[in-house]
Amino acid sequence: MASHSLTLPSSSPTFAPFSSHQILPPSLSTVRFPRPINTKPNHHSLRCSVSIEKEVPETERPFTFLRDSDDDSTHSSSTSVRARFEAMIRAAQDSVCEAIEAVESGPKFKEDVWSRPGGGGGISRVLQDGNVFEKAGVNVSVVYGVMPPEAYRAAKGSASSDQKPGPVPFFAAGVSSVLHLKNPFAPTLHFNYRYFETDAPKDVPGAPRQWWFGGGTDFTPAYIFEDDVKHFHTIQKQACDKFDPSFYPRFKKWCDDYFYIKHRDERRGLGGIFFDDLNDYDQEMLLKFSTECANSVVPAYIPIVEKRKDMEFTEQHKAWQQLRRGRYVEFNLVYDRGTTFGLKTGGRIESILVSLPLSARWEYDHKPEEGTEEWKLLDACINPKEWI
C-alpha cells in the first residue's frame, strides 16, 4: 500500500503547533500514513506507525539553532522573526532559570543540549527535588520538519479552508515551562510561548507562507491568597494592555475555557492568559507581545514564591496539594493537546511527561467541607472569577 511521510517532533516539550502545554522536541518521528486515510483529520485520531529519529547530544550550546542552508536566506538573518523569536525564548529560559536558582540558593538546573540531523535542536533544563522546587522544567526548542496536508489540517484544527495540496515544510520554536513547588501554599506555574511557520509546498511554488503565535501563562495554587492571585493577573493584564485592551479579557476567558477538566466540571487552576493560532494582527506586534508576556513571568511569579515558600504547613495541607496535583495530571494526560499528540505519535515519554509533578494523590469521592479553604479553591475552579 502506498504511503507518505509526516515528520513530527517526538519529545517534549512535545511538538504540536496547536499545543498549549508542550511544544517542541529533541527528536523527530517519521510517521507513515497509509492511503487512503479513512479517519477524520483530527489530532486525537491519527493512526500511524512511528520510527524515531534520535536527537544528537551536544556538549555546548550553539549560538543559534537556525540552519545556515535555509531555502530563504532571510530566515537565518539576525533580524528575521525566526531569529528574534529564538533569541527571545532563549533569553526567557535564562532569566527564569536564574530566578529559580536564586530562590533555591544552591541547587542548579541539569542541562541537556541536543540537535537533530534535519536541522534545529534545543536546550532542556530540569531542577528536581530542590530546596524550594520539587520539580522545575524550562525547555526551548527550534525545529524544522515536513507534514502532509492531513497533518497540517489536524494541527490547525481546520476542516479544509486552508488545506495545502502537498507536503508542507514547517518551522516551529518555543519555550515551555512547568514549575511545581514543595510548599502547598506556593502555586504551580505553567507558561509556554511558541511561533510556527509553514512554507509553500514544493509542488506549489509561490504559495504564501503562513505563520502564527501561541502561548500563555497560567497559575495553579492549592490555596487561595487573593493578593497573590490579583498580583499575578495584574501583571498579565499590564502585559496585554500595552498592545490591545481587548487582549486580557479575551485571553483570560480563553485560558479559563482551555484548562477545563470536563469529567470533573472544573478548571485546573485559577487561570491567567492563553492564546493560540494568533495571526490576525501585525507580525511585529505579536512578536513584541509574546516577548512582553515571556518577560512578565518572573515579576508575576517569583515574588509570590518568595512570600509562600517558607510558610508552615500540615500534613492536611500537603494532602490537598497532592489532590490538586492529581487534577493537574488528569488534565495533561486526558485533554492537553500537546501531551496527547506526543503520546499518540510515539514521542519520547520522559520528555513528554516532564510537566508532571513528582507526586500526586487520588482519594475516592473526596469532597472538601463547605466553607473551608480547600472548598474555596475548588469553588473558584468550578466558577471562574474576575480577579481584577
DSSP string, 336-361: -HHHHHHHHTT--HHHHGGGS-S---
Nearest in space to 177 (alpha carbons), one of 188, 165, 163, 166:
188
Q: Catalogue the E-assigned strands of 265-387.
A: 266-267, 272-278
Specify whether 190 is catalytic: yes
φ and ψ at residue 207, rounded to 5 degrees: -65, 150
CA distance 50 to 56: 19
CA distance 98 to 148: 40
> Which residues share a beta bridge with 29?
8, 52
Which amino acid is it at 237? K
φ and ψ at residue 377, rounded to 5 degrees: -65, -50
Q: Are 141 and 25 in contact (CB under 8 A)?
A: yes
Pick the catalytic residue from 21, 190, 231, 233: 190
Task: Give just the sign of the alpha carbon dihedral 268, 275, 219, 344.
Answer: positive
CA 168-170-172 angle, 5° bins: 160
Q: What is the largest CA-CA distance in the chain?
A: 64
Cα Rg, the chain, nearest whole Å: 21
CA distance 303 to 333: 30
DSSP string, 103-136: HHTS---EEEEEE-TTSEEEEEEEEES-SSEEEE
Q: How many CB atoms are located within 10 Å of the residue 45 CB?
A: 10
Specify the DSSP class assigned to residue 363.
-
User: Helix, strand, coil shares of the chain as percentages rounded to 5?
Assistant: 35, 25, 40
φ and ψ at residue 123, rounded to 5 degrees: -130, 120
Which residues have a catalytic role annotated? Answer: 190
